[in-house]
């Protein structure tokens, strides 16, 4: 299928904060690694920001990367946060909010799984953002790329899985499945698989 990565394609390295031109150069199927700073945010955070909630001091999403993730985090013996599992959560639940958050907070990339819908795709095109797909369930491989957990925000309010965690990451792997040029791997695969299914029923 045309959806498969071309042989010999290279891994593209992104470092936060990411420039708009670097984002606009990405295309569906590119494999990337992200290094630098990520913030997690999932259901509670999206609803909170959508309803006019303010980002806590210390959280900047400008040129930044938002990770749809509810990690397992424990405190080590020295009292530091340690991430023991951190794969992506399903992104489509944030579809009602994501476009607005990309626009208002200057996001350059959203990492999650399962892809998102037309409104998010349009916001990616308009404001220069991409959707990066991490492998769902691969919580250990992805947690290994988290070097440090310097901070957590809104922990009391939302609880550990829903809080905003700040991660310092090195070489976090993902695939571009929605680019800033209006292309979505999810739309392509859905349409192709639906057409294929029609042959067998």
CB of 6 to another protein, least distance (A): 8
Taking the least distance from each CB to another protein, the nearer of 18 and 139 is 139
In three-state secondary structure terms, 200 is coil
CB of 201 to another protein, least distance (A): 5
68 flagged as catalytic: no
DSSP for 151-194, please give it.
Answer: EEESHHHH-GGGSEEEEEEEEEEEEEEE-TTS-BHHHHHHHHHH
Cα 172 to Cα 14, 50, 58, 183, 200, distances in angstroms:
9, 28, 22, 23, 39
* Spatial distance between the Cα atoms of 39 and 89, rounded to a whole number of angstroms: 14
Maximum alpha-carbon separation in the chain:
60
Question: CB-hemisphere CA count at 13 Å for 21?
Answer: 0
- The single residue of 46, 68, 133, 186 carrying the catalytic annotation is 46
Q: Is the four-CA dihedral 177, 128, 96, 153 of positive or negative sign?
A: positive
CB of 112 to another protein, least distance (A): 10
Taking the least distance from each CB to another protein, the nearer of 38 and 69 is 69
Nearest to 149 by CA among 106, 89, 90, 85: 85
Interface ranges with another protein (CB under 8 A): 1, 3-5, 7-8, 29, 31, 44, 69-72, 74, 84-87, 89-90, 92, 113-115, 133, 135-141, 143-144, 158-162, 173, 175, 177, 185-186, 188-190, 192-194, 196-197, 200-201
Taking the least distance from each CB to another protein, the nearer of 63 and 145 is 145
Taking the least distance from each CB to another protein, the nearer of 4 and 78 is 4
Q: DSSP character for 113?
A: B
CB of 148 to another protein, least distance (A): 17
In three-state secondary structure terms, 93 is helix
Helix (H) or strand (E) holding 141: helix 139-143
CB of 87 to another protein, least distance (A): 5
Taking the least distance from each CB to another protein, the nearer of 85 and 106 is 85
Residues annotated as part of the active site? 46
């Amino acid at each position: 299928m045309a959806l498969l990565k071309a042989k010999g394609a290279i891994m593209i390295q992104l470092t936060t904060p990411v420039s708009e031109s670097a984002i606009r150069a990405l295309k569906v199927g590119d494999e990337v690694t992200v290094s630098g700073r990520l913030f997690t945010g999932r259901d509670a955070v999206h609803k909170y920001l959508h309803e006019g909630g303010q980002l806590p001091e210390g959280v900047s999403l400008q040129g930044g990367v938002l990770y749809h993730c509810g990690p397992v985090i424990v405190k080590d013996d020295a009292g530091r946060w340690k991430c023991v599992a951190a794969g992506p959560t399903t992104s489509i639940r944030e579809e009602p909010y994501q476009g607005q958050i990309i626009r208002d907070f200057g996001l350059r990339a959203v990492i999650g799984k399962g892809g998102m819908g037309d409104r998010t795709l349009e916001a990616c095109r308009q404001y220069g953002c991409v959707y990066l797909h991490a492998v769902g369930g691969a919580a250990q491989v992805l947690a290994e790329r988290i070097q440090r957990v310097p901070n957590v925000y809104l922990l009391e309010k939302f609880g550990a899985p829903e809080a905003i965690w700040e991660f310092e990451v090195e070489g976090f792997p993902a695939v571009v499945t929605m680019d800033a040029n209006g292309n979505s791997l999810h739309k392509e695969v859905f349409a192709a698989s639906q057409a294929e299914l029609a042959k067998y029923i």
